[in-house]
Amino acid sequence: MRRRLAPYALILPGGLWLAVFFVVPMLAMVSVSLQSGDLSQGFRQTFDIGNYSDMVSTYHTQLVRSLVYGLLTTVITIALAYPMAYWIAFYGGRHKSTYLFLILLPFFVTFVIRTIAWQFLLADNGIVLGHLKSWGLLPERFHILATGYAVVGGLVYNFLPFMVLPIYVALERIDRQFLEAASDLFASRSQVFLRIVLPLSLPGVFAGVILTFVPASSDYVNATILGGTGQVMIGNIIETLYLTNSQYPQAAALSSILLGALLLGIFGYAKALGTRDVMDATAA
Amino acid sequence: MSTSVAPTPLPLSDEAPHDVSPARRERTGGRLLRVYTAVVIAWLSLPIIVMILFGFNDTTSRFNFVWQGWTLHWYRDLFQIPDLTDSLVNSLTIATLTTIAATILGTMIGFAMGKYRVRGRAVLDLVLFANVAAPEIALGTGLLSLFLSLGIPRGYLTILIAHIMFDIVYVAITVRARMSAYDRSLEEASEDLGAGPFTTFRLVTLPILLPGVIAGALLAFALSIDDFVITEFNAGTTQTFPLWVYGSSRVGTPPQVNVMGTLVFAFGVLLVLGNVWLMRRARRSAAGAH
């Protein structure tokens, strides 16, 4: 009897913590999103879904921008990460873990500081643009900061390792005998890649897509530090509504919309690819 | 590790049946990729170099943007800005407390999920996956909504609650992954040889689990000390290091931030390298014993 209950006793404390501080809060957020009123008048539960339609019509520009930037970031990180992951997995030799460590190195620096360092590097008259301008290679008015390029660049920088790692893990797991068998059967190098390596590495790419698209499209740190006032993303709006304006119902509605859209996308995507595969690859 | 039943490869060397050119193309391709990888790694390191370098910058203005020459001034006056120091102390104590709590709770979950067939496993799997996959901003605003609804003021304690919440999940996943190396028959053998449950746990189960627990704890500490989004929504007026730095980005980041960032960076790198070194040594002495 005691044996049978042991696993539940082990799961209970942490499970309760997650139930109270993760599952219940999601419900609390939906409940707040269905309230009306303001900070001075007080909030009442009215179950009015008007907040949702209001938020979509007011902030659709920022919503679309966030999804587009998230998508761009994901596509660019795949293009940048795949060749690297490939080289490390197949040519890394004894130094594989050293290369992976170097790729993870930015994570030892606070996310906010990393982003500020880019603000510094890309500053209008900073160490890069300043010199290029003084050499006459760039027009005096050229700038990168406060453009979409800077924001997407920052996002790509910050989330690239999340794409490299799962792709690397998937490539590393490929049984090398498959490749030998294929070339013994006179497959060309491109055939080996397209018909063996690429399909077997796709679970890693899919995991990488979740790990980069979700944080990139909901990020507001890069937009704040690198984007200036013209590159506002949905995260910035949620931040302002909650923390500056105290418009809690509206903020909660917007956050629920973002969460709903992303979760729907993730689960639809995981379902289409086989939930376990994606979950395993994401967790690895 | 592979258990697939592949046909025995023919004893052919790679080069023999092919003409020279594909092999040479492979070498050029490999070299190109090597250069490419090096360039991307350099790009990834660029902000780190900037951070370290400008902690030594002899700047006088509030904007630490132009190189003015070397100084150790900022290392000497590291704690000159009381708010910044407080925020770093908060971050360090929160990360420490979080790591202890989340490692214990997360290890229990990961261990139970790896060892037993539990009912409701699918629900637990879903909760863990949703927690990792959900955007941080949703976790942060959800928790804030709960605290607002209950009228709980935000501060040090609510940050701690939030950090333990997301760290439990990462520790549980890390430990569970490690449990794939776990073999029930080892425990049974130990019990057959007369060891009690506690001796078995200490001498058999724990050594198998320990690398996963240490990796989980390191990850928990790193995620806690670096967290910005979830913290910002649940901090109230309490400042952590990332929050203070974010606030300063509008008015000019003082060089002390670079120095603290550098020290945290160096500490983290040394910790991980030390852990790797210890693991290697343990493995080597284990191999030597046989």
- Residues B121, B122, B128, B130, Cα dihedral to 10°: -170
Specify the higher pLDDT residue, A31 or A272: A31
Q: Looking at this predicted complex, what is its ipTM? A: 0.90
pLDDT at A100: 93
Tell me phi and psi for residue B136, to 5 degrees: -55, -35
Least confident of A277-281, B111-115, B188-192: A277-281
Q: In whole numbers, what is the pLDDT of chain A averaged over residues? A: 90
Q: Which of B279, B160, B287 is nearest to B231 (CA)?
A: B160
**Cβ <8 Å between B145 and A101:** no
Residue A283 pLDDT greater than 60, yes or no? no
pLDDT, tens digit, for every residue of B101-154? Answer: 999 999 999 999 988 888 888 899 989 988 998 999 999 999 999 999 999 999
| A174 inside 8 A of chain B by CB | no
Closest by CA position to B21, among listed A92, A192, A188, A185: A188
> Has residue B2 got a pLDDT over 70?
no
Between A274 and A184, the more confident residue is A184
Query: pLDDT-derived band of residue B287, with 50, 70 and 90 as boundaries?
Result: confident
Q: Per-residue confidence at B62, pLDDT binned at 50, 70, 90? A: low
Contact criterion met (CB below 8 Å) for A251 and A244:
no
Nearest CA to CA, how far is B289 from chain A (Å)? 24
pLDDT band at A277 (very low <50, low <70, confident <90, very high): low
Residue type, A93: G
Average pLDDT over residues A203-231: 93
- CB contact under 8 Å between B257 and A88, yes or no, is no
pLDDT mean across residues, chain B: 87
**Residue A112 Cα, gap to closest chain B Cα (Å):** 6
Contact B242 A111 (CB under 8 A): yes
B253: region left, alpha or beta (phi > 0 left; psi from -120 to 50 alpha): beta
Rounded average pLDDT over A58-81: 96
Give percent of chain A with pLDDT exceeding 70: 95
Q: How much is the pLDDT for B208?
A: 85
* Contact flag B249-A26 (C-beta cutoff 8 Å): no
The per-residue pLDDT for B9 is 41
Digit-coded pLDDT (tens) for A111-156? 999 999 999 899 887 788 888 888 888 888 888 898 999 999 999 9
Of A6, A123, A157, the CB nearest to B65: A123
Per-residue pLDDT averaged across A218-224, rounded?
Answer: 96
Distance CA A163, CA B62 (A): 37
Strand partners, A37: A43
pLDDT in tens, B193-251: 988 888 888 888 888 889 899 999 999 999 999 999 999 999 999 999 999 999 998 88
Mean pLDDT of A161-179: 93
If one compares A120 and A222, the residue with the highest pLDDT of the two is A222
What are the C-alpha distances in Å from A111 to residues A33, B99, B106, B193? Answer: 30, 19, 24, 51
Q: What is the pLDDT of residues B13-48, one digit of tens each?
A: 444 444 445 555 567 778 899 999 999 999 999 999
